Amino acid sequence: MKRGFLSIILSFCIVISIVLPVSAATGDLTVEDKADVLKELTVLTGGGDGSYNLDKQLERSEAAAFIVRIMGKERHVNANKDTYKITSFPDVPATKWFAPYIGYCYENGIINGYENGYFGPGDYIDEKSFLKLMLGVLGYEINADYTWAEVYDKAYEIGLIDLEIYERKNNTARKYLRGDVVEVLYNSLKLPRKSDNVTVIQNLVNESIITLSKAEELGLIENAVDTEIQAINVLNGNWVMVTLNQSVYNVENEELRIYETEDFTKTLTTEIVSQTSNEIVIKTGNQIPDKSYTLEIYNVTNTRGKVTDILSGTFSGYRDPNLKSDFFRISRVESVNRYTINVYFTHPVNANSQIITNYEIYEGDELFAGGNQRDITVNTMNSSKNGVTIYLRTKAFTKDTEYKLFISGKLTSAYGVNLNEGEGEFITFVGNNNEEEELRVVSVQALSNDTVAVEFNREVDPGFSQKFINYSVIGPNNQVIPVNKAVLTGEGDKKGKIVHLSLSYILDGSKRYTLRFEYITDVHKRSSLEEVEYAFDGAYATGTTIRLSQVWAEDKGTVCVRFNKPVDETSVLNKYNYSIKGVSDAGYSTLPEKVYYEEADGQHIIKLYLPVDKYLANGKKYKLVVSKTVKDKMGDFATKDHEYTFTGSSNDKVKPSIDKATVISKDSIKVEFSREISTEIPNILVSNYTLQYTEGGNVVTKLPLSLIYVDSRTMILKFDELDLYTEYTLKFNELKDYSGLHTRTAAEGGNSVKVNIGS
């Protein structure tokens, strides 16, 4: 697991280190004291008389020996001296003491000879040349990290030389002495190598040139501390970055383990994708948002050689700022103003979500608001089926202050599932100081000669806004035009903010009118309009009456119809308002057997189910005629019948089946059907569905305890319990589509589907 000394010339991992230049006097040590330290490290040896010959000029052969020793490679060179002592230099005899040192340095590209092929072992080396060699020891490459002209600059920048030496760099007449070398070698001991951030002295410890305790005794290494996890940052649902308090050697994949804190048997797969000296980036299996995980790293060796048996830390599974999940979770919180937050869930919610005791807001560890009607009100949102709005009644949020919203696990979704499997959930948000807008009118616009659209800046109360007596139109000469109908509408972010008014008299496009509001309140009854007037023009754009916008064949037995605006449900569900005639086949003519209407996500779609003996032919042309008596939501209709030509489909999958089945809680499976199904027997019988799985080699079958018919394409099956680690197959005996014309039985096949585990 430990790494050897990396190549001096080639560096593949870049670690940025900032080291301040060493001062002229390092502590109180003299050059002789530093020489004594280098002797302890076997970097420097004394002469025959015990002196270090500090006043002697440095020879090229001595420089090679110093480089080998400071790298911790002398033992290696001596063990292989028979190989290294043979060189191509005529003036380096194999019998000389310096031959192996020169041979090693030459083979590793550290020192070169002269152009004439000689080495010159007895020649004196100058200061600049030796500094270049020491920069190489520290992993800096000439012409990559610095140039020949920048040798002194780089040496001073990293702390290899002090200011005094740097300032005399242009004194080329000065002799380079062994005492000068001692200063440079000593300075290098605490410097990190560029390639791996390991200091020179730590490398000597790693190479067993000196013990860690001896290096600590000499003051070259601080007392070794235990390796600890400083931070675990969750980057996304599959990436985690671990930061340690010090540099360590590379960790291997088998030395990692991540498991659910509450159940150590449930682990995440792990793979190390990158690591530097003190940071490890780990790719994990899919994390469960907010689930507590424990991370363990075994046998961690820091770069000082100290081993820590186990490092441990916890983190929470990644939560997307806009969480999407098949389970019932909080998706996100939107801070609206000083008094309001919008909370979005991963499931649709209903009136159950308005129970105030399920909500608490904390500032720090203190309860800020919630749990009672004095503090907050909670209302479902018109603009989102997955959201609620929480209003503060007596307090206000503070800008940039972090709050924590807790929602009880008693809260149930429209699927009958408890929030976070009944455990409840926290989510943080930051308050803002935006003032709450008072309810106001954004615009009033004539849609036709007897219809007016009113847009508000906020959602309005459905009760007050749809009472026509709360409006009146005043025309020229103060003539009052009564309003006979008010319909709350709007789509997307304008849902619940637009009211269409139907007038008793016709507007004059050349005149100006005034709309008077008697009493309208916002949906949360926090602000209102009372006896307020708003002027508008009687002119309106043409082409706003109800019309067909699209017709297409979904399959051989189903035709889809889309109108340009919300429609009156009673009139569109009347099958006698539709007829289909053949264009390619003049003999074809039929009425739908049944009509289905759906208004969702701003779309207004009608489905016409055709008789089984009147299926469409692929590629042939047909004309749909819709009676002009089909009305829009305001009760208006066109002046003539609607017509639209479309093409038949090749899709013959007219019988219902299960498209997808997903485990969405520990006791619920969400079932999505291929087409609309009816609320009739057998569809709504729990005995119509079975869940199969294998346990101990035996096939086990269980029935649902109950079911929830959510809509024509969605059903929730409730069981006693489900295991997220078991493979299930869901089967049905019989399914009948919405029209009642098409039934799929088990005998026909296609009545089973593998159950997915929600993400």
Instruction: Indicate the Cα dihedral angle 448, 449, 454, 455, nearest 10°.
Output: 30
Mean pLDDT score, 75-80: 94
Between 729 and 24, the higher pLDDT residue: 729
Count of H-run helices and E-run strands, the chain: 13, 41
Say whether pLDDT at 22 is over 50: no
Say whether pLDDT at 148 is over 70: yes
pLDDT at 324: 86
Pairing label, strands 752-757, 658-665: parallel
First to last CA, the chain: 37
Selection from 346, 278, 301, 55 nearest residue 178 by Cα:
55
Q: What's the whole-model pTM score?
A: 0.60
pLDDT at 335: 93
Q: Tokens 């004059």, residue? A: 508
- E strands in 375-417: 376-380, 387-392, 402-407
One-character DSSP codes across 676-735: -B-SSTTTT-GGGEEEEEEETTEEEEE--SEEEEEETTEEEEE-S---TTS--EEEESEE
Q: Phi and psi dihedrals of 106, rounded to 5? A: -70, -45
Pairing label, strands 528-537, 589-590: unpaired
Segment 411-424, tens digit of pLDDT: 999 999 999 999 89
| SS3 track for 258-326 | EEECCEEEEEECEEEEEECCCEEEEEECCCCCCCEEEEEEEEEEECCCCEEEEEEEEEECCCCCCCCCC
Give the Cα separation of 293 and 192 in Å (integer).
35
Specify the DSSP class assigned to residue 150.
Answer: G
Task: Please provide the CATH number assigned to the domain covering 441-537.
Answer: 2.60.40.1220
> Are 77 and 69 contacting, i.e. CB atoms less than 8 angstroms apart?
no
Whether the bond into 704 is cis, omega within 30 of 0: no
In this prediction, what percent of the chain has a pLDDT beyond 70? 95
> Are 622 and 616 contacting, i.e. CB atoms less than 8 angstroms apart?
yes
Q: Which residues contact 507 (CB under 8 A, 6 or more apart)?
A: 446, 449, 450, 452, 475, 481, 513, 538, 540
Q: Which two tokens stand for residue 95?
A: 């019998």
Nearest 5 degrees, angle CA 354-CA 357-CA 358?
70
- Give Cα 15 distance to the centre of its chain: 28
Give the Cα separation of 242 and 244 in Å (integer).
7
Q: Which residues contact 461 (CB under 8 A, 6 or more apart)?
A: 520, 521, 522, 523, 525
Give the Cα separation of 279 and 239 in Å (integer).
13
Segment 644-658, tens digit of pLDDT: 999 999 998 889 999
Segment 351-385, tens digit of pLDDT: 999 999 999 999 988 999 988 888 999 988 877 89
**Domain definitions of the chain by residue range:** 31-58+124-217, 229-316, 330-430, 441-537, 548-647, 658-757
Q: Tokens 């997220």, residue? A: 724
The CATH architecture of the domain made up of 658-757 is: Sandwich (2.60)
Give the Cα separation of 577 and 567 in Å (integer).
13
pLDDT at 598: 84
One-character DSSP codes across 45-58: ---TTS---TTSBP
For domain 330-430, the CATH class is mainly beta
Confidence of residue 49 (pLDDT cuts 50, 70, 90): low
* Distance (Å) of CA 140 to CA 150, 156, 447: 12, 13, 76
Specify the DSSP class assigned to residue 380.
Answer: E
Segment 675-717, tens digit of pLDDT: 999 899 999 999 999 999 998 889 999 999 999 999 999 999 9
Three-state secondary-structure class, residue 93 = coil
Segment 726-740, tens digit of pLDDT: 899 999 999 999 998
Selection from 275, 277, 231 nearest residue 253 by Cα:
275
Q: Tokens 């599959």, residue? A: 238
Mean pLDDT score, 176-205: 90
Say whether pLDDT at 15 is over 50: no
Confidence of residue 344 (pLDDT cuts 50, 70, 90): very high
Q: Which two tokens stand for residue 386?
A: 């997955």
pLDDT at 450: 87
CATH fold label, 548-647 = Immunoglobulin-like (2.60.40)
> Are 332 and 338 contacting, i.e. CB atoms less than 8 angstroms apart?
no
pLDDT at 276: 83
Q: Is 680 exposed, middle or buried, given 0-12, 13-18 or 19+ CB atoms closer than 10 A? A: exposed
Give the Cα separation of 25 and 33 in Å (integer).
12
CATH fold label, 229-316 = Immunoglobulin-like (2.60.40)
Do 229-316 and 441-537 agree at the fold level?
yes
